[in-house]
Amino acid sequence: MTPATRVAGLLTDLLGQPLPVRIQAWEGSTAGPAEAPTVVLRNRRALRRLLWQPGEPGLADAYISGDLDVEGELRPALSQVRAALAGHGPVRPGLRDRPKLLAAAVRPGALGPRPVPPGGRARVGGAVHSRDRDRAVISHHYDLSNEFYALLLGPAMAYSCAYWTAPGDTLQSAQEAKFDLICRKLDLRPGSRLLDVGCGWGALALHAARAHATPADWYQGPA
């Protein structure tokens, strides 16, 4: 049995349904549906990361470090996997799955010490949720430039997920679609009032004023 076949069998067992991706192992073996997105395990360390961190954390570390990759465009591949897993929920192996995970790692020679985490992760000390530790974690994640956040959030700098409605959407158009969806759900119309709290740099309020109000509705502050 090849490494790819072992991994595909384990994942099928954990999911309880046919595998939504094709697996390609480091030595060239493959398993899974031919028309599905291909997940490439570039080395044995990819399995070792998943053994030490089963589920989404291990997958994320393996992808960031380059031990695991997806052939082709990542977005369509993730969309296809999400559609296949709809209603299944997150895959979080439990204690009863540990023997299967160990067996899948032992035979291809993937056992070993815990791999070094990818660079850029916060390294903090102290008691969990102590003031100094939380201050260091917050600083690591938020003391970044506006240029960095613009790459993730778009020109609106709206700190929430965009709403993608078509394959050709840009980040900016998807953010605008989100603003409009919110306004339509609220049934905003001329004469309505909207309190925008914690949604970024006021982009939602600006969109609501432009698209769903008249100039007479705009709040000008105390008289």
pLDDT given for residue 93 in this prediction:
63
In the chain, which ranges are E strands? 22-24, 30-31, 38-41, 68-70
pLDDT given for residue 157 in this prediction:
87
Strand 38-41 to 68-70 pairing: antiparallel
**CA triple 87-94-59, angle to 5 deg:** 70
pLDDT at 42 over 50: yes
pLDDT given for residue 95 in this prediction:
66
Dump pLDDT digits (tens) for 98-150: 777 777 777 777 788 888 888 877 788 889 899 999 999 899 888 988 898 88
Percent of the chain surpassing pLDDT 90:
26
Burial pattern 71-102, b for ≥16 Cβ within 10 A else e, equals eeeeeebeeebeebeeeeeeeebeeeeeeebe
pLDDT at 85 over 70: no
pLDDT at 74 over 80: no
**How does the average pLDDT of the chain come out, rounded?**
83
- Name the burial class of residue 185, with classes exposed (0-12), middle (13-18) and buried (19+) by CB atoms within 10 angstroms of its CB: exposed
Higher pLDDT, 14 or 216: 14
pLDDT given for residue 132 in this prediction:
92
Average of per-residue pLDDT across 201-208: 88
pTM for the structure as a whole:
0.63
pLDDT at 213 over 80: no
Q: Which of 2-6, 30-34, 90-94, 152-156 has the lowest mean pLDDT?
A: 90-94
Dump pLDDT digits (tens) for 146-202: 898 888 888 888 888 899 988 889 999 999 999 999 999 999 888 888 888 766 788
pLDDT given for residue 223 in this prediction:
44
pLDDT at 75 over 80: no
